[in-house]
Chains A and B, each alone.
Chain A
Amino acid sequence: MHGAPRPSPTRSEINGAAFAATLPTGLPQGLICVAKIGNFLELFRQVARFKINYRYRAVWAAMSDAEQPIPELYREAAEQVRQLARQARLTDIRGDLLALSAKFERLAANADAAIRLGLPGCPHGEIIPPDRGRPPPEGHE
């Protein structure tokens, strides 16, 4: 993968390198081998993490800049409605707004799940009803 930014070294990688550098030359081969395996496992973990990040970035990159992912839109809306609820001095208004905020959070979670499952129409589609994808109860057509 050309041009991909190399992830910054993690604390364990730095510690591993530092540890390897401090190893005296006369140490038994077994101990040096353990240190090398540790470094290899850290490298493997970084590659796995990069692959996961790359995959999810690809999902968002498929959209134009103007098109924000639906879960993000709903989370943003939920946060703003929560802020408005704090300004309300009547309990019923506050209750309404907090309920609406909770609804937006639920919709964000549903949209996230739909993206994870790769349901068609997501993240570009309409609001995902909570029951979509659930198998029909037994005995029903």
Chain B
Amino acid sequence: MEEPQSSPSHADSEHYREMASKLRELARQFRFPGARQELLKLALRYEVRADQLDARSAPAVSDQERN
């Protein structure tokens, strides 16, 4: 299968960050603390996952840059 131009894990990590940011924005609109807390918890999880994906793809990217 042909490799896509941009790394899929990088695109995924960007998407996780984008969704985390939207969740935080949504959480700011909610006045009820229970719902707000749930959204913030999920946003944090997505940010952690994005960092993990970036960390995993970082060596591969630097290898490509070296070649």
Query: Could you tell me which A residues sit within 8 Å of B by CB distance?
Result: 68, 70, 73-74, 77, 80-81, 84, 87-90, 93, 96-97, 100, 103-104, 107, 126-127
**7 smallest beta-carbon distances between A and B, as pairs:** A77-B35, A73-B32, A127-B34, A93-B19, A80-B26, A84-B22, A77-B30
B residues adjacent to A (C-beta < 8 A)? 12, 15-16, 19, 22-23, 26, 29-32, 34-35, 38-39, 42, 46
Q: What are 22 of the A-B contact pairs (CB < 8 Å)?
A: A68-B31, A73-B31, A73-B32, A80-B29, A84-B19, A84-B22, A88-B15, A88-B19, A89-B15, A90-B15, A90-B16, A93-B15, A93-B16, A93-B19, A93-B46, A97-B42, A100-B39, A103-B38, A104-B35, A107-B34, A126-B34, A127-B34
Please tell me if the beta carbons of A87 and B22 are within 8 angstroms of each other in the complex: yes
**How far, in Å, is A59 (CB) from chain B's closest CB?**
18
B26, A84: Cβ atoms closer than 8 Å:
yes
> In whole angstroms, what is the CA distance A103 to B34 when docked?
11
